[in-house]
Amino acid sequence: MTDIRDDVRFDFEQLFGYAPQGVWSAPGRVNLIGEHTDYNEGFVLPFAINRRTVLALGTRDDAVLRIASSFADEVAEIPLSSLAPDALAGWSAYPFGVAWALGEFGADLAAVPGVDIYIDSVVPVGAGLSSSAAIESAVAVALNDVWQLGFDRPTLAKVGQLAENKAVGAPTGIMDQSASLLGRADAAVFLDCRSLESELIDLGFAAAGLELLIIDTGVSHDHATGGYAERRASCEKGAAVLGVSSLRDVSVDDLPRAREMLDDETFRRVRHIVTENQRVLDTVRALRDEGPAAIGDLLDASHASMRDDFEISVPELDLAVETAQANGAIGARMTGGGFGGSAIALVPSGGVSRIQVAIDGAFAEHGFGQPVTFVVAASDGAGREN
């Protein structure tokens, strides 16, 4: 089997006609718990996964950016001086958007050389595993290195988020880029999305005889349109009516009063965020004090809250979760922004194939498309490969 790092070097040289200066990579992420809490200044607990986006980069002697990839036919090209959110479209808006956003954070784009970049990826697209954040983070660390910008990782996460918000047009939070940049093997990133302080929490899955199974339903989603932005707007409305700057400032004890002040739908959106923040804190405590076998009920409760209160699940995700729970998973939930994508199940090591078979059977019985199931491990965040 060839190594993707050798492949991108080879493909870069074939396409651009010279050897790249180096190879960088960044992982996708899975969120263990803490959904839609990031843009409410709450808590999240994602981890970087062992599926990476890899790029080769070479500097040019002019001020032009050229980007090619294994997943698009054309070579996209733009002068550094023309970078602006409105000038970007299609998949190249992700990498070009990062270059633009570095400028917004203070990089002098008039003083840096142009670059050629070739990108390849084994992060599944549309699966809710942040293939987009993986591209943004790989490009951010690579440009930060070759342009010698000296930004720290929390700042690079904000750069990636700005690219996604303004160049791609998806009103997403800071979680995905943070996981891709701050992740470590066998650990989750416990991030306070208000202070942006983070801490690595040991997962200990292997020592506990557990595996984290991803069930990609194949139902694709898009956070630049529709439901994601609507949920964000509901949260902002709830915070405004309750007189707080963000739902981070609402506690579980405040919920009875919130019920009296809010319409039913907004109340349920708020209740999801408030209880989900508490579940993240409880999950961190359980991981520290008792180990991962103790977090199953929290995962299950998170799914129920997303299905019933936040209403971002779909029948395929509910079926994946219920089937995993009924076939030996100690906990399961949909993960990511919702409206499609993947579910996760925390499963005893010997029980993975039983759950896979049960899920395949259940999906076939319901006439749903065949899901893709695979185990992921917590891995290191973005960095230079060679």
**Residues in region 161-180 near ligand GAF by CB under 6 A:** 172-173, 175-176
Selected from 5, 9, 36, 221, the binder of ligand GAF by CB under 6 A is 36
Sole residue written with tokens 């993960």: 335
Print the binding letters for residues 296-335 with ligand GAF: x by CB under 6 A, - otherwise.
Answer: ----------------------------------------
Is 13 labelled a binding residue? Answer: no
- If the CB atoms of residues 125 and 207 are measured against ligand GAF, the closer one turns out to be 125
81 among annotated binding-site residues: no
Binding pattern to ligand GAF, positions 83-122, x when CB under 6 A? ----------------------------------------
Stretch that binds ligand GAF, among 17-25, 30-38, 214-222, 240-248 (CB under 6 A): 30-38
162 marked as part of a ligand binding site: no
Q: Which stretch binds ligand GAF (CB under 6 A): 32-40, 234-242, 265-273, 354-362?
A: 32-40
Distances (CA, A) of 59 to 98, 112, 115: 16, 9, 4
Using CB under 6 A, pick the residue from 58, 218, 296, 337 that binds ligand GAF.
337
- At 81, is the secondary structure helix, strand, or coil? helix
Q: What's the rounded Cα separation, in Å, for the pair 220 and 73?
A: 22
Note whether 42 binds ligand GAF by CB under 6 A.
Answer: no
The catalytic position among 116, 120, 176, 300 is 176
Q: Which is nearer to ligand GAF, 149 or 235 (CB)?
A: 235
According to the annotation, is 126 in a ligand binding site? Answer: yes
Q: Which residues are within 8 A (CB) of 248 and not within 5 positions of it... i.e. 6 or more apart?
A: 40, 41, 42, 193, 194, 277
> Would you give the binding string for ligand GAF spanning residues 220-249, x where CB under 6 A is met?
---x--------------------------
The nearest distance, CB 93 to ligand GAF, in angstroms, is: 15
Residue 60: name the closest of 128, 116, 125, 144 by CA: 116
Q: Is 353 annotated as a binding residue?
A: no
223 is in an annotated binding site: no
Those residues whose C-beta lies under 8 Å from the C-beta of residue 255, and which sit 6 or more positions away, are 270, 271, 274
Nearest Cα to Cα of residue 165 among 179, 153, 177:
177
User: Residue 165 Cβ, how far from ligand GAF at the closest point, in Å?
Assistant: 10
Rounded Cα distance between 48 and 175, Å, is 11
Q: How many CB atoms neighbour CB 247 within 10 A?
A: 27
Residue 35 interacts with ligand GAF (CB under 6 A): yes or no: yes
Q: Is residue 170 left, alpha or beta, with left meaning phi > 0 and alpha meaning psi from -120 to 50?
A: beta
The nearer residue to ligand GAF, 31 or 305, going by C-beta atoms, is: 31
Within 8 A by CB and 6+ apart from 217, the residues are 314, 316, 317, 320, 340, 341, 342, 343, 368, 369, 371
Residue 176 is among the residues annotated as catalytic for this protein? yes
- Selected binder of ligand GAF within 336, 340, 351, 381 (CB under 6 A): 336
The residues, ordered by sequence, that sit 6+ positions from 371 with a Cβ below 8 Å of its Cβ are 215, 216, 217, 218, 316, 320, 359, 360, 363
How does strand 64-69 pair with strand 115-121? parallel
Please give, one letter per residue, the 3-state secondary structure of 132-157.
HHHHHHHHHHHHHHHCCCCCCHHHHH
CB neighbours (10 Å) of residue 289?
8
Based on CB atoms, which residue is closest to ligand GAF, 39 or 118? 39
Query: Could you tell me which residues are annotated as the binding site?
Result: 35-38, 69, 126-132, 164, 228
Query: Could you tell me which residues are annotated as the binding site for ATP?
Result: 69, 126-132
Residue ranges binding ligand GAF (CB under 6 A):
31, 35-36, 38-39, 172-173, 175-176, 223, 336-337
Return the active site residues. Answer: 176
